[in-house]
Chains A and B, each alone.
Chain A
Amino acid sequence: MRLALRELRRRPGRFVAATAILALIAVLLMFLGGLLDGLLDSSTGAYRAQQADVVAYSTSARRSLPRSRIPEDLRALAAKAEGVTAVGGLGTLQVAARPSDEPQTRDLISTVLIGYELAPRGLPSEPPPLGSVIADSSITADGVREGDTLLLGAGRVPVKIVGLVDDTRYAGQASLWGSLETWRTVTQQLRPGQAAPDAVQALVIRADGSPERAASRVEEATDGALEALTLDEAIDAIPGVSQQRSTFNQIIGVTVLVALVVVALFFALVTVERISLYGVLKAVGASSGTLFAGVVVQAVVVTAVAAAIGAGLAALLDVAIPPGSIPFALSASRLVLSAALLLVASVVGCAFSLRRVLRVDPAAAIGA
């Protein structure tokens, strides 16, 4: 072990190439992870902010929020389900907005107007009055400030921004949180066919006990007319979320595999170079375990240094990327996870050299 660390210290040049390649892989891994987190954050914020256990859609909507319609009578049935403590309606309208001071602008802002009853995190329990909304803070990247008025849709229905809230985007769009009444009024004006006076699109439900049980109780109480999902299931059901997650995780998996191959090849070469030295060390009493532990220690140190460099570069990227340009969110947990994946890959990569170390015959040191 000490021998391996001494070699790293005294012959750093030998390990520079492997460290550099692994550092590039590390930064790629962290960048990909940051993109995934950024994309997911921008798609799921409105749901993650919900302080609820269950989200219910009409069964015929097949887990699609825009298609779902829940009339008053079904809502009443759901509210009576065992363990349910609170039910709130949710209505959404995806709509392009333009600032009222630049109504001719060609750059429309993609927004989603969300009417709520049960307040998500960061929002007042009493929704803002008719015609007012609290906007997701990401909208400031488009130059919109608190106090501004936005004109929604082709009908240019005005809503005033009376506050900002963080991390509540939905499907990549800035959310505008208002009352159900605001949502109904705007929908009535822009898409008269879609508006129903008493219906909502979804129910957010608070309940006692496990969310899974609460979900099945709501479904039973409504005789299957509602499909109730736990909050996590509902997040996964947001269009694109599970696809984004699986696509990025596959790319991340391949990248980790590349790191594993780099470590495996590098240390396989190093081990081949050391065969006569290992023979001598075995002859003077080193066990295969001690020698292999040295290889693992070197791989772990090289990878840890590379991961640290990668994390530094990823942090620089985070600073360099202008807010709102691409969805990139770098978190400490993502950096730690990426480093941990690389370390596991490096240890597994070393394992390919184990057989070679085991096969070194100490008797070969004599008569060589």
Chain B
Amino acid sequence: MSGTDGKGGEVTSTEPALRMEGVRKTYQVGDEEVVALDHADLTVASDEIVALVGPSGSGKTTLCSIAGALLSPTAGKVVVGGRDITEFSARELTEFRRTSVGFVFQSVNLVPFLTARENLLVVDELGGRKGDAKAARARADQLLEELGLSDRAGNLPGQLSGGQRQRVAIGRALMNDPGLVLFDEPTSALDSHLGEQVVRLIRDEMKRRGTAAIIVTHDQRITGYADRTVEIEDGVVEG
């Protein structure tokens, strides 16, 4: 399966979606140095779905944040879609997130006063709409259709069910045609039946697009849908 050739534009079938080498992240708390991530190595292939599991405080959020260009590592190297983002400035990271990665958050964080369709378009608008607005609208409509939300495009988040909201969030993550999508506990707010539906949808969507995904989860059932499970404990990746 070939990789996406999205706005990031640098993901190819041979290039892994993510390569982390010897990544270390420490925080200074008072005089003490707290190690959140310790010499983590992780490679995610361009169409691979990786489940990242570990107890609370194990460092999976930190790993996910570094992979998603939300945080810069203290040491090590991070290459996303062929681009080395280790030394990126805050501004470059913002731009990179907008164009090259997708996020689905734990609590469904849609903009409450925007319709489903507008929530997808918000990514495009926040970037000052450098691209073609018509194309963005067409893409939003297409994604909503693929996610089974065509008839809900004009509804506000408050008028949607939990599962529908999560699907809108997935649509938003896919708007910029990313090479890597990060899911942060995507099923934690859903009941088991809905949760399974959403995970199946995630898998189908990622595989159909050939997009890589990291799913942070506690949920053992999710790991069955992933290509690989990586465990993390006390900041050390074991996989």
Tell me the A residues contacting B by CB distance below 8 Å: 2-3, 6-7, 10-11, 276-277, 280-287, 290, 362-363, 365-368
Contacts and interface: CB of A to CB of B under 8 A. Distances in A.
A297 to B, nearest CB: 13
Contacts of B79: none
28 contacts: A3-B122, A3-B125, A7-B113, A11-B113, A276-B109, A280-B109, A281-B111, A283-B103, A284-B103, A284-B123, A285-B94, A285-B95, A285-B123, A285-B126, A286-B126, A287-B91, A287-B94, A290-B126, A363-B65, A363-B70, A365-B105, A365-B109, A366-B64, A366-B106, A366-B182, A367-B106, A368-B106, A368-B107
| Nearest 10 A/B pairs, CB to CB | A285-B98, A367-B61, A280-B109, A286-B126, A363-B70, A10-B113, A363-B65, A285-B97, A366-B184, A363-B71
B6 to A, nearest CB: 13
Contact of B125 (A2, A10, A280, A366): A2
Interface string B80-104: 0000000000010011011100010
Contacts of B216: 367
A368 B105 contact: yes
Contacts, number: 80
Given A3-B122, A11-B113, A363-B65, A280 B105 contact: yes
Given A6-B118, A284-B103, A366-B70, A277 B128 contact: no
Contacts of B70: 283, 362-363, 365-366
Nearest to B60: A367
A285 B92 CA distance: 10
B9 interface: no
A20 B158 CA distance: 28
Nearest to B169: A280
Given A2-B125, A285-B97, A290-B128, A366 B113 contact: no
B83 to A, nearest CB: 15
B72 to A, nearest CB: 10
Given A3-B111, A281-B126, A284-B98, 19 more contacts: A3-B122, A6-B114, A280-B109, A282-B94, A283-B68, A283-B103, A283-B105, A284-B97, A284-B126, A285-B95, A285-B126, A286-B94, A287-B91, A290-B126, A362-B70, A366-B70, A367-B65, A367-B184, A368-B107
Contacts of B224: none
Contacts of A284: 97-98, 103, 122-123, 126, 172-173
B99 A285 contact: yes
Nearest to B113: A10
Contacts of A7: 113
B169 to A, nearest CB: 10
Contacts of A280: 105, 109
Given A6-B113, A284-B98, A287-B94, A366 B122 contact: no
B127 interface: yes
Nearest to A279: B109
B91 A366 contact: no
A275 B127 CA distance: 19
A364 to B, nearest CB: 9
Q: Is the interface of A mostly helix, strand, loop or mixed?
A: helix
A283 B98 CA distance: 8
Residue picked from A2, A283, A368, most chain B C-beta under 10 Å: A283
A277 B125 CA distance: 16
Contacts of B114: 3, 6
B87 to A, nearest CB: 18
A161 B196 CA distance: 97
Contacts of A365: 70, 103, 105, 109
A355 to B, nearest CB: 16
A366 B68 contact: yes
A287 B107 CA distance: 22
B202 to A, nearest CB: 17
Interface in B112-130: 113-114, 118, 122-123, 125-128
A366 B105 contact: yes
A368 B106 CA distance: 7
B2 to A, nearest CB: 25
A287 B122 CA distance: 13
A282 B126 CA distance: 9
Contacts of A286: 94, 98, 126
B8 to A, nearest CB: 12
Nearest to A290: B126
A6 to B, nearest CB: 6
Contacts of B173: 284
Nearest to B128: A290
- Of the candidates B113, B128, B172, B182, the one having the most CB atoms from chain A within 10 angstroms of its own CB is B113
Nearest to A285: B98
Contacts of A11: 113
Contacts of B122: 3, 281, 284
Nearest to A294: B126
Contacts of B128: 290
A10 B113 CA distance: 7
A3 B123 CA distance: 11
A277 B111 contact: yes
Contacts of B184: 366-367
Interface in B36-60: none
